[in-house]
A and B are shown apart, each in its own frame.
Chain A
Amino acid sequence: MNEINIKAEKLSLDALWTGDKAEIAILVEIFMDPVYRLALRMTGSEQDAEDITQETFIKVIKSLPDFEGRSQLATWIYRIAMNESLMNLRRRKPAGSTVEIDAGNEEEDSAEIEIIDWAAQPEAELLDSEGKQQLDLAIARLPESMRSVFTLRDLQGLSIEETASVLGISIPNVKTRLLRARLKLRQDLSLYHRERLGRSD
C-alpha cells in the first residue's frame, strides 16, 4: 500500500492482542495522521475529524482482540475510520445541515468538459490560500460515494483492491467512481481557473 503499510507490518499482532500499551501507542502514532486526514476530507470539519479520530481509535483498541489478521491491519483501520466518517455525515442530514454538499445524481456528472490549460500555472499560485480553498470546495462538492473512493485511492494511496475492500464495493464500482471523481474535480478546478485567469487579464 505504501509506507504506512510497511510501518504497520512491523507491529506485533501478539502484543496488540494482549493489549500491550507501548505497541498500541506505536499503532496510534502510525495511523493518527492518515485517519485524521481521511476524516477531514470526508467531513470538511476539523472538529469532526478530531472526534472521528478519537472514536476510531477507541473502537480499534476495543476490537483488537477480535482482529484475526486475515485482512491487512491498515485496511481494517481505514474501514472503521470510514464508517465513523460516514456515520458522522448521516447524523448531520436530518438536521437539514447545509454542510454536506452532495451533487446527488452520479449519472449526470462529467457531461461537460471544460478545456482550459491551467496545468502549467505556477504551483505557488495553484496552492495559494484561494487555490487551496477551491481544492477543499471541489472535494466537498463531490457526492459522498465518489469522495470516499477518491480519498482512499488517490489521497491515502490505497490500491483499487484495497479501496474496494474498505468500502465493501466491487472493483469495477471503485474504478467507475474514481474516474467520475477525478473528472468532476478536474472540471470544477478548470471552471475556477478559467474565472481566475480571466480576472488577471
Chain B
Amino acid sequence: MGQTTECQKLLGELSNLIDGTLSPELCSELEAHLKECTNCRIVVNTTRKTIDLYHVEESQMGMPEPAREKLWKRLELGDITPRGKSM
C-alpha cells in the first residue's frame, strides 16, 4: 500500500474513526482523505466488516444445553428456575 502521511494518520486513528470518538475537525479531515484514497476506504470498510462479522458470529454462540445443566448442578442451584426460563 503506497502510504502517504494522510494514510498513516488515518491508520493511527482507525479505531477512533470506527468508534466515532474523533474530534469533529479530525473527522472531517479524515473523511476528506477517504473520499480521495481508495486504499484507505478499503481498509476502513474491511475493518468495519471484520468487527461486524465477529458480532454476528458471537450472537449465534451460546452455552450448549448439556453444559448449562451441568453448571446448574455444580452450583447446586438444582431446583431454582430463573424467572422466564425453563431449565
Q: Which residues of A contact B (CB under 8 A)?
A: 21-22, 24-26, 28-29, 32-33, 36-37, 40, 46, 49-50, 53-54, 57-58, 61, 110, 113, 115-120, 123, 126-127, 131-132, 135, 139, 154-155, 175, 178-179, 182-183, 185-186, 189-190
Chain B residues within an 8 Å CB radius of A155: 54-55, 58
Could you tell me if B15 and A175 are in contact, using CB atoms closer than 8 angstroms?
A: yes
Contact A46 B71 (CB under 8 A): no
The answer to whether B77 touches A186, judged by C-beta atoms less than 8 angstroms apart, is no
B68 proximity list for chain A (CB < 8 A): 32
User: Given contacts A32-B71, A154-B54, are A183 and B82 in contact (CB under 8 A)?
Assistant: no
Question: Chain B: how many interface residues by the 8 Å CB criterion?
Answer: 40
- Tell me whether chain B's interface is mostly helix, strand or loop, or mixed: helix
B67 touches A183 (CB 8 A): no
Residues of B within 8 A of A (CB): 1, 3, 11-12, 14-15, 18, 39, 42-43, 45-51, 53-58, 61-64, 67-68, 70-72, 74-75, 77, 80-83, 85
Pick the contact of B15: A21, A123, A139, A182 (CB < 8 A): A182
Whole-angstrom distance from the CB of A186 to the nearest CB of chain B?
5
Query: Interface majority SS on A: helix, strand, loop or mixed?
Result: helix
In the complex, what residues of B have CB within 8 A of residue A37's CB? 58, 61-62
Which residues on the B side are within 8 Å of A46 (C-beta)?
Answer: 64, 67
Question: What is the minimal beta-carbon distance from B25 to any residue of chain A, in angstroms?
Answer: 19
Are the C-beta atoms of A36 and B67 separated by less than 8 Å?
A: yes
**Pairwise interchain contact B53-A127, C-beta atoms closer than 8 A:** yes
A46 to B: closest C-beta gap in Å: 7
Chain A positions within 8 Å of B43 at CB level: 113, 115, 186
Residues from chain B with Cβ under 8 Å of A118 in the complex: 46, 49
